[in-house]
Amino acid sequence: MSSIFAAIAAVWTFFWLVGSFIFNLFLTVGAGIFFVLLVYWLMKLIIDWIAEKIS
């Protein structure tokens, strides 16, 4: 009986580790995309501002 619980615990732990890894990966990728978009937006603002000053 205890071996069944041990197997369930092992599978549960495995899925929990994989799940948290995937979650962290998504979080990291999402933050990266957000950061890139933020930088792109700031550069766009600065370039528009410079173009306005020149003209």
Predicted confidence (pLDDT) per residue in 29-41, tens digit: 999 999 999 999 9
pTM for the whole structure: 0.56
Considering the chain, what is the average pLDDT of its residues?
Answer: 95
- H or E element that contains 11: helix 2-54
CA–CA dist 45, 38 (Å, integer): 11
Task: State residue 5's pLDDT score.
Answer: 93
pLDDT > 90: percent of the chain = 95
Does the pLDDT value for residue 1 go beyond 80? no
Task: State residue 36's pLDDT score.
Answer: 97
